[in-house]
Structure formats: C-alpha cells, structure tokens
C-alpha cells in the first residue's frame, strides 16, 4: 500500500507540475507528425504524470479517479479508435490505415485527410498506452496488498 508522502515540498511540487506534464503530453501527441514523439511517447508521459500523483498523494485518493476498471475501459476505447479508423479506411475502399481515403467523408483534400487520420490514430494509441501503463503500475504496486489478503 502506497502511503501519502509526508513531505510538503514534494507534494506541492507534484501538484504544481501535474497540469504542465499533461499539457506537454498533449503537445507531444499533437505534434507527433513532424517532431520527435507521437502516440506512444505522449501516452507514456501522461502515465508518468499519473505515477507521480500516486507516489506523492497516496494510492487511495487517486483510485477514485482512475481505478483498474476504468483503466481497462480506457485502453479498450483507445484500441477501438485505432482499429476503428483502420477499418473505416477499409470500408471506404482503401487499404487498412490508408488515411487518404478518409477525404470522402471528411470533405477535405487527400493530404489533409491523411494528416487528420494520423492524428486520430495517435490519440487512440496515446489513450491505450496510458491506460495499459496505469494497469501495469497498479499490478506491480498492489502486489503486496493482494499477498496480504491471500495470507489472511
């Protein structure tokens, strides 16, 4: 069980840093086309902010916002966005993840449809990676909790 940190400096710095970490993660996701980063890296930064909160504020208040169940649901949503955009291209007559064909329903030209398609896929990947990282983190950090319950 992770207790709340008893140091006021660490707690305050983590609270102040959290919004900037989230904004930065969104920047990395949005600018994945033409700078280092993308869906996976943005998701990892989002999950890092979450881990920072768990380590400093204790696991109990964070679980109300992000439990294991919600993490599974969010990862499924992310995977569905990714696979859904790919399948949509397939339905419209292109190849799998051939974003150019999305211009038929988005009413923009092919290049812009390609850019928007990549952005959508990256958002899906970011959601999935964030939720899976949180699941792994929960699974590791609540291991002793489960062992205690088994021993009782």
Partner 1 sequence: MNTFFLVIGIGMCLLVLFCLFRVTYGPTILNRAVGISAVGTKTLIILLIIGVIHHRVEMFVDISMVYALLNFIGCLVLAKYLERTGEV
Question: What is the closest distance, in whole angstroms, from the C-beta atom of residue 137 to partner 1 in the complex?
Answer: 10
Asked whether 126 and 46 are in contact (CB, 8 A), the reply is yes
Contact flag: residue 129 with partner 1 (CB under 8 A): no
Contact flag: residue 10 with partner 1 (CB under 8 A): yes
Question: What is the closest distance, in whole angstroms, from the C-beta atom of residue 36 to partner 1 in the complex?
Answer: 6
Site string for partner 1, 44-73 (x = CB under 8 A): -x--x--xx--xx-----------------
CA distance 152 to 148: 6
Considering only 18, 24, 100, 120, the residue that binds partner 1 (CB under 8 A) is 24
Stretch of 21-29, 63-71, 111-119, 123-131 lying at the interface with partner 1 (CB under 8 A)? 21-29
CA distance 62 to 31: 29
CA distance 139 to 78: 20
Q: How far is CA 46 from CA 60, 92, 117, 122, in A?
A: 19, 33, 22, 14
Q: How far is CA 115 from CA 79, 87, 98, 111, in A?
A: 19, 17, 11, 6
Question: What is the closest distance, in whole angstroms, from the C-beta atom of residue 39 to partner 1 in the complex?
Answer: 14
Describe the crossing of helices 143-151 and 110-141 by its angle, rounded to 10 degrees: 40
Contact flag: residue 36 with partner 1 (CB under 8 A): yes
Question: What is the closest distance, in whole angstroms, from the C-beta atom of residue 100 to partner 1 in the complex?
Answer: 27
Question: What is the closest distance, in whole angstroms, from the C-beta atom of residue 52 to partner 1 in the complex?
Answer: 5
- Six-digit token pair at 149? 């319950």
- Binding residues for partner 1, rule: CB under 8 A, are 2, 5, 10, 14, 21, 24, 28, 35-37, 41, 45, 48, 51-52, 55-56
């Amino acid at each position: 069980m992770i207790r709340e940190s008893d140091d006021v400096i660490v707690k305050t710095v983590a609270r102040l840093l959290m919004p900037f970490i989230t904004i930065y993660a969104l920047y990395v996701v949005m600018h994945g086309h033409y700078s280092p980063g993308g869906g996976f890296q943005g998701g990892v930064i989002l999950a890092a902010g979450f881990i920072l909160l768990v380590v400093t504020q204790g696991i109990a208040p964070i679980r109300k916002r992000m439990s294991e169940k919600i993490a599974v649901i969010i990862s499924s949503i992310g995977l569905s966005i990714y696979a859904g955009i790919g399948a949509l291209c397939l339905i419209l007559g292109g190849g799998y993840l051939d974003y150019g064909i999305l211009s038929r329903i988005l009413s923009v030209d092919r290049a812009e449809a390609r850019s928007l398609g990549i952005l959508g896929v990256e958002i899906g990947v970011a959601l999935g990676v964030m939720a899976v990282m949180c699941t792994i983190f929960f699974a590791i950090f609540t291991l002793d909790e489960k062992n205690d319950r088994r021993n009782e």
